[in-house]
Structure 1
């Protein structure tokens, strides 16, 4: 199985667990049904951006399963990629020069988040069967200093196969884990200084990325549902303090997510090859980007959006998405 197939199958191979999913998933399905009208009413009010095109251009070359692309305030782009065999964090500067920041970040599908301006945190899913090394088998978190290249792995207690990460404070992160059982498929709050984890929700058939809506105080989590090629999947919102479910919306093949702070989330659709906008006020869903082989991650920086196509081995820079785009 290729590295991209491993990354994709993380969310599809546990569909048999759906019947055992706990109340969090039941609530998601119920709320998704209530919002299904908003999904079906999504219109082509503006034509989706086609990739590649004049407004959606590939950046960098030589990518091998790029799983995330995170911009900084200086115009650099940091890309998690499998090139090199054990995971590499690259810097792509304004001029297009590509340099290695750190190697050994781990297996497929690593997702990134900023800590301080010099530190990127990421997830190592862990997919090495038969290994006696816990991080290789079950995954861990890591952080990399983008100035010095120092890479530090962070063991976490009780989390199997971490998938997504977002920081709330310099010492607190929220992490999704796509483990071996519904109980391990969960949302956690993690103390980055101690590695201690508090489970906020569990029982997902599968769970992928996440982000924070800081205006509402919500954690937005993507739930692939019936798999990336199936009709189900969606986004669930949880109160970041209590873990209480606050809302849910159907988004086909939902894989990863970013929010623009103006009531709109942007959700990648996996092998459906699209990026959708989700209006968190109205529930309206609308395709915004199309033409990708496998839309994996999305990040926004002022008027620019970066999307990774993990199967197409491209990182795209998009300059025409409308804020609050519904």
Structure 2
């Protein structure tokens, strides 16, 4: 277990912002997580749980205690001819787990390849990409209740998962230290090709019916082409959530923008890509101070070098105002903004 004071979080956030916390505690197993919960005091408040920091924007030093899981391990819980249930430590790097699953012919997560962060955060954020969400495969979440240091196992159905949301982000915020996530994966590979430019990318390679490894490699290629490397330009991937609007609002916009990309959600609602709207507002590739909008993907805000968290927030707010003015739609950050 690590227990450090006045600790820099520079290497714990992919925006590469050098903010500090009063105390940093890292646990390597369930028992250490329970020990921490039993010994937290009022002096440790407020608490902040982080994973890989790939969905985090720090706007100031954090005057509290940061808790981070370093629990590793991938363990098969049950296995039959149709599916496998696998228990994964919350500190496992997400893409390492996806690669492991593909190598073992466990299917479903291929479209979530190359998403930064750690497994524990996938259960909090309900990460998603290219038509797939983590909630589609999460079976249970194991955690320690900070209030009484007890171990709990939570069914996925109880987590109220929705688009980039869960009870861990709402009423359970700050209550649990996630230790493991149990996934239910299929032994049969069924490619999901109808989102973004997946089919076009496969056709470029002469692939009509991809296998799981080809699918994973294609998703990785797409993400590398569109998204900046955080080591070069600090970023948190997609900064905004794609808004879901009523069908009447969608029809109103289509009358004005007949080539507007969109994705059907259900009979009453449609998802509009926030990146497209941001680009239509002229923000793609532009900067505001040391913060900017990525030149290849307008959904991504970047640290051009030396940006503060507040500069990124100012850019975020300017973009939101312009999108609201042009389209009449509120877009909201997907990134967790930590304010002073």
| TM-score, structure 1 normalization | 0.29
Greater Rg by CA: 2
Q: Say which structure is richer in helix.
A: 2
| TM-score, structure 2 normalization | 0.29
Q: Say which structure is richer in strand.
A: 1
